Amino acid sequence: MKWASAAAADARLEAAVINAADAVSIQLDGRQPDLVVVFVSSHHAADYERVPALVSRHFPGGCLIGCSAGGVIGGGREIEQRPGVAITAACLPDVTLTGFHLESDETLTAAAATGDWEHLLRVSAAPRPHFVLLPDPFSFDADNFVRSLDGAYPNSQKVGGVASGGRQPQSNALFLGATMHRAGLVGLALSGDVDIDTIVAQGCRPVGEPMFITRCQQHILWELDGRRPLEVLQELYERLNPRDQELARHSLFLGIVMKEDRVEYGRGDFLIRNIIGSDATSGAVAVGATLQESSVVQFHLRDAQTSIADLDELLGRYAAQNRTRPEGSLLFSCLGRGVNLYGRPDQDTDLFRRHLGDVPLGGFFCNGEIGPVHGATFLHGYTSSFGLFRTRRG
């Protein structure tokens, strides 16, 4: 298994593809890759249809997958707010690659009703495949899909990101093979001698104390430890320092404990969800998740410093636990990270290289990130979700 990654910021699409592809070919020692992953910034939107043919000129035998992007990542660089093309490629002996395109959620309804996911995707669950998923935000319910896919392939890893760059339906591009799609989802199943490790950095820190949900209804939180959530939040706000009070006005989230068989909870134990509204009369809070009574939750704050510390700890932990480095990696990072959060480019990729060295890393800035938290796959926001590829152990 051998991976390579590069990015180019040329204003002309042809030049960007040539420069990125040439750099990838050099890293692969001239070998033709089995897999080619390409992300293209919206500056090249007028030429999206030409992308598969241009890339295939350089890598005619590779299984091509990719999408449009608000920013691209390749070769240890994050290219934002300017033209960019990122190409990541891999030679994958003894790995079977199966690409698929789902046009709409109607196909999901049929699969859910019959349980015939293997027929829909043409992917058997027996060899434990892993998935890379690239949905369009306007035409496909990615959140519902990843939950369903977990049920059909419970032992498989799923990573990916929601296509970005477009601001209205039919404005994004999804690439699969020689075809560009404007809607749905493109995905790739990898079976055989390959495993994917995952890191999902949600970039938050807890404030206040863990509490039990004592009354809720779907996504409405009515009571925490028998009290109105807005009362709890008001008391919490008054205890915060001035800087955290400012963060609480625009960067407050609810963390839901995913592993409740412990007394103390740390980084990675929570699924972070948005607080989407509140009602002053009832004191209730609306959360971007389906809630369950007796669940343990805790409020969280997010800022640049916390996001850096979170990813630094997770990458450090992974490096310490895995002496053998992965062969390659894909990074799906939120549009709200990067320069928008840190004030400088390459923050997340620099941390990755500090801990894992020169492992080829490609990806893009997404409208939502796909990755697991404690064994269940979710669609996230404001995260960096890594898929780290290596040969299968044992």
Residues 265 and 340 in one domain: no
- Amino acid 118: pLDDT: 84
Residues 291 and 327 in one domain: no
Q: Is 307 helix (H, G, I), strand (E, B) or coil?
A: helix
Domain boundary residue, one of 301, 321, 345: 301
- Amino acid 119: pLDDT: 82
Domain boundary residue, one of 263, 286, 301: 301
Q: How far apart are CA 111 and CA 119, in angstroms?
A: 9
Residues 170 and 319 in one domain: yes
Q: Token pair of 130, please?
A: 């892993």
| Residue 11 structural domain | 2-201+307-390
Residues 30 and 17 in one domain: yes
Of 393, 362, 391, 327, give the one whose Cα is nearest residue 132.
Answer: 362
Domain boundary residue, one of 273, 301, 329: 301
Query: Residue 153: which residues within 8 A CB-CB, separation 6 or more?
Result: 117, 123, 125, 128, 129, 131
Residues 107 and 49 in one domain: yes
Rounded to whole angstroms, what are the CA distances from 286 to 129, 230, 276, 280? 36, 11, 5, 12
Phi/psi zone of residue 157: left (φ > 0), alpha (ψ -120 to 50 degrees), beta?
A: beta
Give the helix ranges, DSSP H, for the chain.
13-27, 51-58, 106-114, 117-121, 142-152, 229-239, 242-250, 304-321, 339-342, 347-356
Residues 172 and 288 in one domain: no
Burial of residue 30 (number of CB atoms within 10 Å: 0-12, 13-18, 19+) = exposed
Residues 190 and 272 in one domain: no
The domain total for the chain is 2
Residues 123 and 136 in one domain: yes
Residues 191 and 244 in one domain: no
- Amino acid 31: pLDDT: 95
Residues 55 and 110 in one domain: yes
Residues 235 and 90 in one domain: no
Residues 14 and 134 in one domain: yes
Query: Could you read off the pLDDT tens digit of each residue along the chain, which spans 394 residues?
Result: 999 999 999 999 999 999 999 999 999 999 999 999 999 999 999 999 999 999 999 999 999 999 999 999 999 899 999 999 999 999 999 999 999 999 876 666 666 555 678 888 889 888 889 999 999 999 999 998 999 899 999 999 999 999 999 999 999 999 999 999 999 999 999 999 999 999 999 999 999 999 999 999 999 999 999 999 999 999 999 999 999 999 999 999 999 998 766 657 766 688 999 999 999 999 999 999 999 999 999 999 999 999 999 999 999 999 999 989 999 999 999 999 999 999 999 999 999 999 999 999 999 999 999 999 988 999 999 999 999 999 987 5
* DSSP track, 207-232: -S--EEEEEEETTEEEEETTB-HHHH
